[in-house]
Amino acid sequence: MSTLTDTPKAAAGREKPARRRPRVDRLPYLLLLPCLAIIAVLLLWPLGQVVWMSFHRLNNVRQLRGDREWPWIGLENYVQILSDPFFRTVLRNTVLFAVANVALTMILGTLVGLLLNRLGKRMATFVGSCVMLAWATPALTGTIVWKWIFDDTSGLVTWLFNALPDGLSQALFGRTDWTGYGWFNSPLLFFAILTLVVVWHSFPFIAVSVLAGLKSVPSELHEAARVDGAGPWRVFWKVTFPLLRPVFGILIVLSTIWDFKVFTQQFVLAGGTQDRPTFMLSIYSYAEAFSPPPKYGLGAAIAVILTLILLVVTGLYVRMVLKQEEE
């Protein structure tokens, strides 16, 4: 009788038992906590401090120690930087330098990666080891060596130019004695040498990454393209490049970030912060913060602007990748 008198809701409740919520496995999140804590301490906390400093007027070391108050000035540091014509010059230098270095690094690294992929095992190991020496060399050590190579009195480049026949040197360059010639005095020459140093130090990573990507491409695709009559150039653009496009995208973003914030090489080659016409954002931030009179808040604001530019570049790349996956 009870079955006849049950309401429709009760009957439906008996027919459809209550769904249980899926159990969430918290173990992966717990395993990530130590890494997140390290990132927060080593990256997020200093970044937050820099952002906080950029909203204050800090002109004294005692303020950084906490002995004096930090006067709040809001966006005044940012207004001062963005309204300064010299900032636009520095930004132009940074963008042009990054574009040139990313292009040269990617081209040279890709060519070396293709070469390593075509060599035999022993020769590829030997060439790859030699190439990685540049990557393994600390930036400071490598830059000091390059600065000696371009030394105006005892450098290798000065010696080579002095070894040219006087007639040839006079005809090509308008001078015969290169002793004492300042290779770093001209902004154009300085950026050319700086580009040489940065590309020399960066291309091995690109080469090894491209080589790793090439190893994942099925050889049957290349063989089929060659059977159809495609040459090496066409095989690369029609077969290899489309398959390695995600790899190239990541490498371009990483190279852009590294080249935008080049500091060590420029600081060593320029001998400090005196050569203002060759300033880029990283050394500009350092010079404003630590050159007398120090302006720590202004330097912090420049560092924040540089960080925002790099975040925009990274965001555009992530958006491009997501769009490609949707398509």
What does the pLDDT look like over 13-39, one tens digit per residue?
555 555 666 666 678 888 888 888 888
Q: Whole-number mean pLDDT of the chain? A: 84
Q: Quote the pLDDT of residue 44.
A: 84
Give the rounded percent of residues in the chain with a pLDDT score beyond 70: 91
Q: How many other C-beta atoms are found inside a 10 Å radius of the C-beta of residue 294?
A: 17
| Cα-based distances in Å from 60 to 72, 74, 83, 290 | 14, 18, 24, 10
Q: Is the pLDDT of residue 149 over 90?
A: yes
Give the rounded percent of residues in the chain with a pLDDT score beyond 90: 29
**Tokens of residue 177, six digits:** 């004695």
**Better pLDDT: 206 or 24:** 206
| Cα-based distances in Å from 233 to 79, 81, 111, 203, 241 | 50, 47, 12, 21, 10
The band of 239, judged by pLDDT with boundaries at 50, 70 and 90, is confident
**Better pLDDT: 41 or 62:** 41
Mean of pLDDT values over 240-251? 85
Please write the tens of the pLDDT for every residue from 151-170: 988 889 999 988 888 888 88
Q: How many other C-beta atoms are found inside a 10 Å radius of the C-beta of residue 135?
A: 16
Q: Quote the pLDDT of residue 64.
A: 75
Mean of pLDDT values over 72-92? 90
Q: Taking the domains of the chain in order of start, what are their residue ranges?
A: 49-83+292-326, 94-288
94-288: CATH topology is: MetI-like fold (1.10.3720)
Where residue 72 falls (left for φ over 0; alpha for ψ -120 to 50; beta otherwise) is beta
